[in-house]
Copies of this chain bind each other. A is one copy, B any other.
Amino acid sequence: MGIRSAVAGASGYAGGELLRLLAGHPEFDLFAATAHSQAGQRLDAVHPQLTGLDVTLGATAPEVLAEADLVFLALPHGESAALAAQLPAGVRIVDLGADHRLVDADAWARYYGGPHAGAWTYGLPELPGQRERIAAAERVASTGCYAATITLALAPLIAAGAARPDDVVVVAASGTSGAGRAAKAHLLASEVMGDLSPYKVGAHQHVPEIKQATGVTGLSFTPVLAPMPRGILATVTVLPTGGTDPRAVLAQAYADEPFVHLLPEGRWPHTAATLGGNSCHLQATVDVDSGRLIVVAALDNLGKGAAGQAVQNANLMFGLPETTGLSVWGTAP
């Protein structure tokens, strides 16, 4: 057996995508897949897309996870800290939840409530120097789906001084899998199909993570639920400083990145082109009327926004080529 890998929270959407990626990964071998209410069920009863994988969901027992080399935590926000605290040093952990992302304990208290579990190494390898930090870390807080999308669009521009950090407006639409698999009436297909609905307008819990990761100081972020299962499209508008060509900054930042692609001029990102893969597509232009810089980013919220990102981080943590077991191609149409 290769690297013994476990997924806690295997019954959710991110968990299912992780299991799909692990099933095709040459080094990470599935050792345990755990769940709460669905423990005891066959995996393919919970994730029919994994029919053929002979796995039974176990209970989320720390003593089982402790025997793994690598544990992915794909739990609801606020539930991973307690579990992680019970796992011994030496077990490498990638947390897909928000518990260990924020450095600022006040921001945690304000947006999530409860005790702050402390920050882990932030799992977005494309940030300067971050790849090395992740490789050296035992515990990594994988970036959130909205934060990944917006940070990949903005961070290099802010860092290079090409865009002002104090007046950023983001409207980002997400597919429904980002809202999780719990049965809620407003997520019923009858409600969502044919509909666009904004939510948590004016105060979204991902704002502090986005600010922390991008260096933005003033952020208006409005998320919208879109009638599609996967994908995030972020439209970012920001004031250019005029000092540097923004497209050139993005081109340079991502020139050698395997998963982040600045598209040729004239082509704009759209979500379907990233579905099922670990890529993020970017484009930027200056609005002729307002002079604002518009950057659009698209990715798969379950891919580069969750499970793909987590595997990318884990690859780094185990010294594997970063692209191992990951695809850059989307499944379209």
The interface of chain A, by Cβ under 8 A from chain B, is 13, 16, 20, 23-24, 42, 44-45, 47-53, 167-169, 171, 173, 175-177, 179, 181-185, 187-199, 201-203, 207, 211, 218-222, 224, 226-231, 233, 235, 237, 258, 261, 263-264, 267-277, 279, 281, 283, 285-292, 294, 296, 298, 327-333
Contacts and interface: CB of A to CB of B under 8 A. Distances in A.
Contacts of A292: 169, 220
Nearest to A195: B272
Nearest to A233: B196
Contacts of A220: 237, 287, 289-290, 292, 294
**In the A-B complex, the 4 residue pairs with the closest CB atoms:** A49-B330, A197-B270, A189-B192, A195-B272
Contacts of A327: 24
A117 to B, nearest CB: 23
10 contacts: A49-B275, A49-B332, A176-B333, A179-B190, A182-B185, A189-B191, A194-B228, A195-B231, A218-B289, A227-B227
A51 B263 contact: yes
A332 B183 contact: no
Contacts of A44: 264, 267
A201 B294 contact: yes
Contacts of A207: 289
Contact of A273 (B13, B51, B167, B169): B51
Say how many copies of this protein the assembly contains: 4
A188 B198 contact: no
A194 B230 contact: yes
A42 B263 CA distance: 12
Given A48-B270, A289-B219, A193 B194 contact: yes
A296 B171 CA distance: 11
Nearest to A48: B273
B188 A294 contact: no
Contacts of A199: 268
A181 B189 contact: no
Nearest to A228: B194
A228 B227 contact: yes
A197 B218 CA distance: 26
Contacts of A298: 196
A168 to B, nearest CB: 8
A271 B218 contact: no
Nearest to A286: B202
A13 B190 contact: yes
Contacts of A194: 175, 193-194, 228-231, 271-272, 275, 333
A285 B202 contact: yes
Contacts of A195: 228, 231, 270-272
Which residue, of A50, A258, A279, A287, has the highest number of chain B Cβ atoms within 10 A? A287
B229 A198 contact: no
